[in-house]
Structures are given as C-alpha cells and as structure tokens.
C-alpha cells in the first residue's frame, strides 16, 4: 500500500483525491438560558457571586453529546458536539441564569473569584439522553449538585441537589437538544432560587 501511494504521488496523472477529506464536519449545538423577565425588578442584593468551573462526572467531561442505553452503555451521538466542553457550557449557562434570574449586584465566572463575596460550585452528576426502549425518543436526565459559600470565611452556606428530566418530542437530534436545554435550565432555576434565598438571608443576618 505504501508503494502504491508513493507511485501515485509521483505520477502526473494523480488527481489528488486521496487528500480530499470525506469526513463530515460535526454539527455544533448551543444551549441558551431563558431571557430575563421584563417586569420591574427589585433593587439588587449587595453581593457578588463567582460561578466556579463545574466538576464533571467521568464520561461526561467532553464536548460530545452523551447517550445512555438500557444496558448502561454510555455512547455519544455521531457528528454532534456542544459548543464547548461540558464544564464550560454549564458554567456559561449558570452565569446567564443568575444574571437573568437573580437580584445580585454582580455575577461572574471564576476568573474574578477573589474579588467576589460569595462563590457557587457545581458538580455535573448527570447530563445524558437516556433511551428506555428502541424507537422511542429519549428522556434527558440532568442532575446538578451545587454548593454556595462565603469567599471571606470559606464556609459553605447551603447545598442543593437540582435535577430535571425532559422527554424529547421525537428522535431527531434538534428535538433532543431542545429537551437538553429545557432540562438544564430547569435544574439551574432551582439553583438560582435556592442560592438567592440563601444569600438574601445571609446578607440580612451577616
């Protein structure tokens, strides 16, 4: 085979087709948080929150879209990717969710953790499409474990176990990604609500 390729590389009649990739470029999917409510919001709390880079369960620490079969085989949808690694995707969604749904003075990623009064740590325990039977659309399972703490005292103020399950409307990848978005946003909404409640009480009674 090496000899054949060498002759082809030398011959003037070679078309160059051996160097043309036939690999299909994967589709990239972007998840977004819901827009902020348009109603007049109360004055923000006098607190800053840093959203730390999430920790990710083994097998999910990739930009590939995970799928779990009834026999517990973990695989990935072909030719499909998230817009970044899963820790980056969920961190970005969490920052969006807090900016749109929490009344805090400032919310940022962990680059500015030392300038923030409070931090949020998320562990991604589940983030996969689960098939129960052949032919039926999968159910998206998202489970996030979260802790909120004080940067000054390093104390953990509260912990949350937020989860959501959403069944895709059909077996197309666009419908599956839509179910992913609904599930992760529902789980993050729980974390935003719990964190806001915790910080409100903490700031009232420091």
If one counts every other C-beta atom within 10 angstroms of the C-beta of residue 140, the result is 24
How much of the chain is in helix, strand and coil states, percent to nearest 5? 30, 35, 35
Q: Does 67 have pLDDT greater than 90?
A: yes
Q: Which two tokens stand for residue 101?
A: 């749904």
pLDDT tens readout for residues 70-99: 999 999 999 999 999 999 999 999 999 999
The pTM of the full predicted model, rounded to 2 decimals, is 0.84
Neighbour-count burial of 38, counting CB atoms closer than 10 A to its CB (0-12 exposed, 13-18 middle, 19+ buried): exposed
Residue 110: predicted pLDDT: 73
If one counts every other C-beta atom within 10 angstroms of the C-beta of residue 151, the result is 16
Confidence tier at 42 by pLDDT (50, 70, 90): low
Residue 153: predicted pLDDT: 74
Residue 14: predicted pLDDT: 41
Reported as half-sphere exposure (CB side, CA atoms, 13 A), residue 33 has a value of: 21
Residue 152: predicted pLDDT: 75
Residue 18: predicted pLDDT: 45
Of the ranges 10-14, 52-56, 165-169, 199-203, which one carries the lowest mean pLDDT score? Answer: 10-14
Quickly list DSSP for 139-170.
Answer: EEEEEEEEEEEETTT--EEEEEEEEEEEE-SS
Residue 156 near residue 176, CB atoms below 8 Å: no
Which candidate, 82, 38, 49, places its Cα nearest to that of 64?
82
Average pLDDT, the chain: 85
């Amino acid at each position: 085979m090496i000899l054949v390729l060498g002759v082809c590389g030398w011959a003037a009649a070679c078309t160059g087709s051996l160097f043309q990739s036939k690999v299909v470029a994967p589709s990239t999917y972007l998840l977004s948080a819901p827009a902020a409510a348009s109603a007049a919001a109360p004055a923000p709390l006098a607190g800053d929150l840093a959203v730390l880079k999430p920790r990710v369960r083994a097998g999910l620490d990739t930009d590939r879209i995970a799928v779990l079969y009834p026999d517990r085989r973990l695989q990935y949808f072909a030719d499909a990717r998230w817009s970044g690694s899963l820790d980056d995707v969920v961190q970005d969604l969490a920052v969006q969710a807090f900016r749109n749904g929490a009344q805090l003075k400032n919310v940022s990623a962990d680059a500015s953790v030392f300038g923030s009064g409070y931090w949020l740590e998320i562990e991604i325990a589940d983030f996969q499409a689960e098939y129960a039977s052949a032919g039926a659309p999968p159910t998206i399972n998202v489970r996030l474990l979260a802790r909120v703490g004080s940067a000054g005292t390093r104390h953990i103020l509260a912990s949350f176990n937020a989860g959501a399950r959403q069944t895709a409307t059909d077996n197309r990848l666009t419908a599956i990604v839509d179910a992913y978005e609904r599930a992760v946003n529902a789980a993050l909404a729980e974390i935003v609500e719990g964190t806001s409640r915790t910080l409100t009480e903490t700031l009232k009674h420091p």
